[in-house]
Amino acid sequence: MKLILVGAGPGDPELLTLKGAKALANARVVLYDALVHPDLLAHCKEDCIRIQVGKRGGQLSCKQDEINRLIYHYACEAGEVVRLKGGDPFVFGRGYEEIEFASKLGIACEVIPGISSTYAVPALAGIPVTLRGYSESFWVITGTTRDHVLSEDVALAARSTATVIILMGVQRLPEIVETYTGIGRQNEAISIIQDGSLKSQKTVSGKINNILRLAQEKQIGSPAVIVIGPVAALPEKAGELALPYSTTSTEVMR
């Protein structure tokens, strides 16, 4: 019995790794998340069983216990199951929890990492998470913890010089703004990228003191990646650079 945990990447189906594509091509059963691009399932054989088990917008398609039950059931029945998760399964993807569950039941496990939205989505918006003279490190934080509150790490990161990347944080944007404003960083640059790597990608850039208004005007929603720090101002210069991404849906507002 075997479980293969595959990272699907940030959204664009062409950003799946070759190893991930091979795993899907040989799969008998695929359990996939809601944010996984449907075109990825075209890699599967016709007789492959495909089951959506992910969540979107906070509404669960399957609870984790049910996903675990399906992993065990199909590992026993088919001998092997592919678990396809968005981004990289070890970055806020609960991938390790599923590996731990399977291992305890004697199921062999393999991990195929995916391109993480934490750095790929900013890159596709023209934002390097590190850059000489701007940022020497980056801090990746979940915007919403398992208790459905803003992570306390945001307040710690706000006091650092690192680029701060916040996932699942759009609904917590007022609290994030309050955190930065409370320590006098209301003029810090911030960008929010929605639907990163997809044709529908759009970016809004501003400062902590005006991002709430700009995000509302732009109708920014989830899923989105929030980038805070000096590098977040770089989309202003996107027109000067020959970058291999489309800026047609990018709007920078000050």
Please list the active-site residues: 33, 55, 168
Q: Which amino acid is at 80?
A: E
Integer-rounded Cα Rg, in Å, for the chain is 19
> What's the chain look like in SS3?
CEEEEEECECCCHHHCCHHHHHHHHCCCEEEECCCCCHHHHHHCCCCCEEEECCEECCEECCCHHHHHHHHHHHHHHHCEEEEEECECCCCCCCHHHHHHHHHHCCCEEEEECCCCHHHHHHHHCCCCCCECCCECCEEEEECCCCCCCCCCHHHHHHCCCCEEEEECCHHHHHHHHHHHHHCCCCCCEEEEEECCCCCCCEEEEEECCCHHHHHHHHCCCCCEEEEECHHHHHHHHHHHCCCCCCCCCEEECC
Distance of alpha carbon 74 from alpha carbon 78, whole angstroms: 5
Distance of alpha carbon 201 from alpha carbon 193, whole angstroms: 7
Give the CA angle between residues 241, 132, 237 to the nearest 5°. 25
